[in-house]
Amino acid sequence: MTTFLVAMVIAGTPLLFATLGELLTEKSGNLNLGVEGMMLIGAVAGFGAGYTTGNPLLAIMGAALAGGLAALIYAFLTVTLRANQVVSGLALTIFGAGVSSFVGTNFIGKKMPVEVISAFVKIKIPLLGDIPVIGDVLFNQDYFVYMGYMIAIVIGIYLYNTRFGLSLRAIGENPSAADSSGINVTVYKYVHIIVGGALCGMGGAYLAVVAVPQWQDNITAGRGWIAIALVIFVKWNPYLAIFGSYLFGGLSIIGFRLQHLNISPQFFDALPYLVTIVVLVISSIRKSKEDSPPKGLGEPYFREER
């Protein structure tokens, strides 16, 4: 059981990064369907940087930079040029898949150098790591996993306890009201879309650099879409994102482990999507404010038409 829970956290970590990234983006009022593409670009950049330099820090930074740059394309199109968000996001996914596959042909079958792998071995946190079960599951993991919790908590504090976070949420709900109260909507959108992309890139890099750690084409295998589902499932709450990501991570590996139960593995594969649909429907029926998407999500903002 403990080994399953440990594997669940590892499977959930790329989802956590991507979910947090998309969550920040959506809070600024932009629906970026390019998560899968940004993860793939981050994965190939992280792998490339780690493979050629042997430096784990450069691998992470390379992934974040590449994810952020990919998101910049989307931000320029949707914020500055007011392009349709759905189409721009899909284009970004095709772009990311293309770039990662094209660049990745140089890395096929290559393994991450030992220097990088050894930087991400499991490290037990003193005291916390000694708690039975929970210690092993949550506090005897690699740095990347720990970084995931910390970023989630930082984003939580940022959103709910800082002035910037409040402004960001205001933009997502009603950009013109935010604009008239003196918030620079464009800057906020750019910053959060780019940081969101960087997080997605890091999520992809976790797969390529730590979890696998060998290059495979299409290494994310649809996790970007699950992350989009997760943002809804966790109701745009970064703290819940931690649990949601591990839960969905668990769903992604449980089918394989329950083969003997005679439940078809495809049922478990479909579960994240079905659960998301149910959550989406319930929250729209209840019309509760906290559970629903930011009001301005998906709408371009035209100051001139205010």
Partner 1 sequence: MRMIKRTDMTKRKAIKIRTVAIIAAILVTSVFIGSIGHNPFKVYISMIEGAFGSGYRIRDTLTITIPLIVTSIGIMIAFKMKFWNIGAEGQIIVGALFASYFALNFSYLPKVVLLPLMFIAGFIGGGLWALIPTFFKVQFGTNETIFTLMMNYVALKWVTYLQYGPWKDPASMGFPKIANFEDSALLPKLFGIHIGWVIAVILIIIITFMMNKTKQGYEISVVGESVDTANYAGMNVKKIILSALFVSGGIAGLVGMMQVSGVNQTLTTQVAAGYGYIAIITAWLSGLKPAIILPVSLLFAVMIKGGSFIETAYQIPQAASDILQSVILFFVIGSEFFIQYKLIMNKRSKKEVA
Residues that bind partner 1 (CB under 8 A): 31, 33, 73, 76-77, 80-84, 86-88, 90-95, 97-103, 105, 222, 225, 228-229, 232, 264, 266-267, 269-270, 273-274, 276-277, 280-281, 284-285, 287, 293, 297-298, 303-304, 306
CB of 30 to partner 1, least distance (A): 12
Output 124 or 303, the one with its CB closest to partner 1.
303
CB of 241 to partner 1, least distance (A): 16
DSSP notation for 239-271: HHHHHHHHHHHHHHHHHHHTGGGT--HHHHHHH
Q: Are 145 and 133 within 8 A, CB to CB?
A: no
With 0-12 CB in 10 A as exposed, 13-18 as middle and 19+ as buried, what is 117? middle
Output 161 or 262, the one with its CB closest to partner 1.
262
CB of 133 to partner 1, least distance (A): 31
The residue with tokens 């932009």 is 30
The residue with tokens 């903002």 is 301
CB of 243 to partner 1, least distance (A): 20
Alpha helices per DSSP H over the chain: 2-27, 35-53, 56-75, 85-104, 114-119, 134-138, 143-161, 163-173, 175-180, 185-205, 223-233, 238-257, 265-286
Output 162 or 222, the one with its CB closest to partner 1.
222
Output 82 or 124, the one with its CB closest to partner 1.
82
CB of 114 to partner 1, least distance (A): 28
What is the chain's percent helix, strand, coil content, to nearest 5?
75, 0, 25
CB of 87 to partner 1, least distance (A): 5
Output 173 or 269, the one with its CB closest to partner 1.
269
Output 19 or 141, the one with its CB closest to partner 1.
19
